[in-house]
Structure 1
């Protein structure tokens, strides 16, 4: 991925957070903080929490925050899994998963769904993930993925099926956009789904699929 692609992803996610006027934001899989430090500078955010299981990456993020103190008054970085999140994080205005789900084993995606849409249940969820259709334009051979730690890479149809089913199961509406490129046939380097909770309150909806 080029720096331009990465900046385009960051800008798209920030736009989605600002569009919601989110004041409480979760950065799930925050890593060493390319998105987190930008969110920490957003004047409209009052509480920001980042989760990741990569301790060295979190140390790098903490060092970045120490050099450039956040504008957000309540900032926390936790060594924790998004699949088994710590208590006290339910009902945030927005949760972001930036190029994160592709690092999760496919057989754990149902657990992620439950944690995200049932346990955390934010008003908005923003998910970006690589678009496998775009890989040839990046020089990625058909038998490989963009990063050795990726467990899968979905084309746009597969991502839309997963997102649409999850949205219907958990009481969200979802919309999609291409990110970092607009090839007429292959879309963008990444793809983004924005889920908005249908009910106005923090109550937990039943999952009709039992997943």
Structure 2
């Protein structure tokens, strides 16, 4: 089985420093039930590719390890473990690329935290759930995905396709993030591990997934599969994720305690401004994209104008909060018909968002990586294409008015960017030119003559043909 990782970062040979493997050498490592070979088919300033070839010994596999099936069955001796990227590949990543996985690089200490243009190719992966499951797992993490499904036998078309795929992943992110994703997810796809799963695996999962698993829309599925559907372990792992998230929230509350009232009043101003524009649009069917715990949804439900309301968020936990705050379980059938909550990401197309007249994105876009904004733009303005889109985002110029913010810091730890008024205007102009909208920009909150208001709101109107 092969794992290749390429980059066009300049100089591309920095990949050798990150992996702690010299491009001029072929290196071998003893790993579980076999050998791992690392070599570089190309290593120039423009592009560098590192390949790990994992060679599993089938005899050693049977003699010393548990493999799928009983030792009295043929499957114990004839299986796909030597040929697919599975838990064996995860173990090899942890051993061979341990420095990179841990984010360490002695020669260039700043490099592990730097986002690089990376491309990974894995041949082959056994996927229970097919291409759809691959996309559900990788696309929310920001990957562009190319998938090739292999036939059972090219000479016998009637046999159909196999569950085996060659996949290519593209993303701009730190190498340690790519490796942590692969380490966790490869065993998830084929649901088989070469060792007994125990309480220790909960700690491994939480450690390797600490920066991304909690916010993943398939968090529960990934956790369950990683722990081989063992109910007790899965429940404990999910509970730990909830507890850790609550601790982080409490820390944020304490840090920002001095400005809670101001933030809340500003947030209420944003919600009321968005509500006013949605009402003025005359729309009867509206979207709340990135609805969070349902504050705007609650305001929308009070207005009889809105006959159909759909709230979408990437966080299942936030949707549960919204459901509880809106008392949907106890609501009348008529109210339940008006509103629907769905889990989803704004960076890939979702047909459930089509045929709505208006949409709101209140403080949403700044939580999306800038390189993923083009995907969000197409999802909202091209594929969904409502007649009215109301969108708010912080004004970065106003940040100097907040004493608790250090220079260059963002207002929230999850913000990926914050735009000045000029940057926001340039982006809205790009939207109008690309998707045939016209726009008006309004300030929200107390306005300062030199730096503007705390938040900025764009109201897009679709140009009818």
Q: Which residue of 1 aligns with 2:109?
A: none
- Out of 161, 167, 179, the position equivalent to 2:426 is 161
- Give the stretch that moved more between structures: 80-89 or 159-168: 80-89
Q: Which residue of 1 aligns with 2:415?
A: 150
The Cα of 1:73 is off from its aligned counterpart by: 4.3
Cα distance, 1:165–1:58 mapped onto 2, change above 3 Å: same
Q: Which residue of 2 aligns with 1:183?
A: 448
- In the alignment, is the contact (CA less than 8 A) between 2:350 and 2:379 conserved in 1? no
Q: Which residue of 2 aligns with 1:117?
A: 381
Could you tell me how far apart the structure 2 residues matched to 1:186 and 1:43 are? 38
Could you tell me how far apart the structure 2 residues matched to 1:31 and 1:41 are? 18
The Cα of 1:85 is off from its aligned counterpart by: 4.3
TM-score, structure 2 length as denominator?
0.42
Q: Cα deviations across residues 114-164 of structure 1 (Å, max 9, x unaligned)?
A: 111110000000110000011111222212100000000000000010011
Q: Which residue of 2 aligns with 1:107?
A: 371
Q: Which residue of 2 aligns with 1:173?
A: 438
Alignment of 1:1-211 (within 5 A): 2-66=263-327, 69=331, 73-139=337-403, 140-199=405-464
Structure having the larger proportion of residues in helix = 2
Could you tell me how far apart the structure 1 residues matched to 2:327 and 2:350 are? 24
The Cα of 1:91 is off from its aligned counterpart by: 3.1
Could you tell me how far apart the structure 1 residues matched to 2:315 and 2:337 are? 24
- In the alignment, is the contact (CA less than 8 A) between 1:47 and 1:72 conserved in 2? no
Cα distance, 1:85–1:63 mapped onto 2, change above 3 Å: farther
Q: Taking CA–CA contacts closer than 8 Å with sequence separation of 6 or more, which of the two structures ends up with the larger relative contact order?
A: 1
Highest CA radius of gyration, 1 or 2? Answer: 2
Could you tell me how far apart the structure 1 residues matched to 2:367 and 2:458 are? 17
TM-score, structure 1 length as denominator?
0.90
Unmatched tracts of structure 2, length 5 or more: 1-261
- In the alignment, is the contact (CA less than 8 A) between 2:310 and 2:341 conserved in 1? yes
Secondary structure of the residue aligned to 1:182 is strand
